[in-house]
Amino acid sequence: MGQSILVLIFASSLFLLSAASPNPPGPKPPVPPSPLHQDSEEQAKLYLSELEGRYSGACNRQITVRWNYITNVTNATAAESTAADTEYLNFQSSIQQEILTRFPNWSSLQNETVRREFKYLAIRGPATMPAPDVGAMTALQSEMETAYATVGVCEYNSTENCGLRLDPEIEEKLQTVTDPAELAHYWTAWHDAMSAAVPPIKYQQFLSYQSAMAKANGFKDMSEMWMVTYDDETTGWNADQFKTLIRSLWGDIKPLYEKLHAYVRMKLRRIPEYAPLIPNKCSYIPAELTGNMWSQDWAKLDNITKPFPDAVSLDATEAMLKKNYTVLKMFQEADKFFTDMGLEPMTQTFWNKSMLERPDDGREVVCHASAEDFCLGKGSQDFRY
């Protein structure tokens, strides 16, 4: 599935979330501020230039502590990460207050780039919340991340090997196992384990903090606060316009998606082991059959669903294994792909400090893929995976 489709689906989910929530009247439109003088325009540019170094330092401290946490998940590193997140939020709060004090009419800035920077810097986020609530919210987020990285389940029909984590063990099982009962076990066991580690009341509390933060910043809900980053500076652009656009785009691709879904369902129903799970032509496809915990990657079904079974497979895995590809070599080939197009190569720091594979020293780590920028500004060499 292409990146653009993933973005579309993600945005569509935001629309559904916000549509399902109450829609109270929004705040009254503010009185348009008076235009700023030329000297204020120059002062705003100078302020942003000076702020870059301060923001870079604060961000670097936060991401450095977070990196230590995601590459070595312990109670101690989790607590340090929570404290660093809270410190960074407090820093952002101080900057937001600074902007509102020094540039109360920032929305009248004539330079579009400068005005846009101020727009995002001035969204106060957690700064609108009491300090104890900010601490509680960041602690809950850290707790959920730790559970996601460390929760384990038992192997199918076994009570001995009970340390199978989502990444990589359970994901590998979902991609390779064909027995529907075993697939259902892993899907259900992991969700049950996560529900035990993060009870619904904790997630509901986290959502309540998020909702309170959004409303305190003048948004109807958290989805609207997220959507502000899609603002294209078009006059009148708002969350409702964005949702209308997404609804229209989804309408364009939905007929094709429904045909693909029906085709895959038809193929699965022809397999005796799967047929009872998909009793009729209007049934849903059980998530575990797709080979992915979130049903977002159906590559496992290629051999079942491809319309021309005798055609040469597009799966390069076998050929890569014959050529002794390693994880490092795959990253190097990917880097070469981009440099061949004229883009900059990855830095030496990236190759020296990235964690491309789960370490074998017993550490718990967050294996969910992420690209980290260590916030060192222009010319930075510190990017990690």
Return binding residues for chloride.
230
How many other β-carbons are positioned within 10 Å of the β-carbon of residue 46?
10
Measured CA to CA in angstroms, residue 32 lies from 38, 108, 111, 122, 301 at distances of 18, 8, 17, 16, 56
Which H, E and C letters describe 210-242, residue by residue? HHHHHHHCCCCCHHHHHHHHHCCCCCCCCHHHH
What Rg, from alpha-carbon coordinates, does the chain have?
24
Strands (DSSP E) along 118-162, which ranges?
A: 152-153
Binding site membership: which residues? 230
Side chain identity at 264, as an amino acid letter? Answer: V
CB burial class (10 A; 0-12, 13-18, 19+) of residue 183? buried
348 Cβ contact list (under 8 Å, min separation 6): 381
CA–CA separation, 345 and 336 (whole Å) = 8
Report residue 164: phi and psi, to 5°.
-75, 120
Helix, strand, or coil here: 271?
Answer: coil
CB burial class (10 A; 0-12, 13-18, 19+) of residue 112? exposed
